[in-house]
Amino acid sequence: MQTPIQVSKKEIGWVNIFTFVWAIDESNADTTFKTVFDNFIWNKLIFDLWLLTYGNSKFLGYLSKMNDFTQEKWWAMYLINCVAPIDDVLEACGIFLIIPHRATINEALTEMWVQIPSSNSNQK
């Protein structure tokens, strides 16, 4: 049985922002990241993790692979809104050493040199 997951996408400028709701595990990691790959315009990427409750080793591998793709093309990838328990896992396995993480979307957008629309000024 596949663990339910919701993936939403929005775009701000050249940045694709994906939010994961619930858990990414062995049963849904492949289909979840196929959705990301199929909907990602290869440029700048943000994963908003504030609603993610679990991520397994396959999830971590996909994050690393996406980071490799973006770096090869001189694009950028950030993780934002990492909260417990996900932030503990990402830190313990070293993902934060290879993928930049910021507290908010505005911090990541600023570092990506993207003009922040005024409607985003109060978002997480």
- The residues spanned by each domain of the chain are 5-120
Q: What is the pTM of this model?
A: 0.89
Q: Render pLDDT for 3-24 as a digit per residue (tens, 0 to 9).
A: 889 999 999 988 999 999 999 9
Report whether the peptide linkage leading into residue 117 is cis, meaning its omega lies within 30 degrees of zero.
Answer: no
- Domain 5-120 in this protein, CATH class: alpha beta
Q: Which of 23, 22, 46 is nearest to 36 (CA)?
A: 46
- pLDDT for 123: 54
Look at residue 124 in the predicted model and tell me its pLDDT. Answer: 52
Q: Is the per-residue pLDDT at 108 higher than 60?
A: yes
pLDDT band per the 50, 70, 90 thresholds, residue 28: very high
- Using DSSP's 3-state secondary structure scheme, residue 107 falls into helix
The model's pLDDT over 36-83, given as tens digits with 9 standing for 90+, comes to 988 887 679 999 999 999 999 999 999 999 999 888 887 899 999 999
Q: Residue 119's pLDDT is what?
A: 63
* Cβ proximity of 56 and 29 under 8 Å: yes
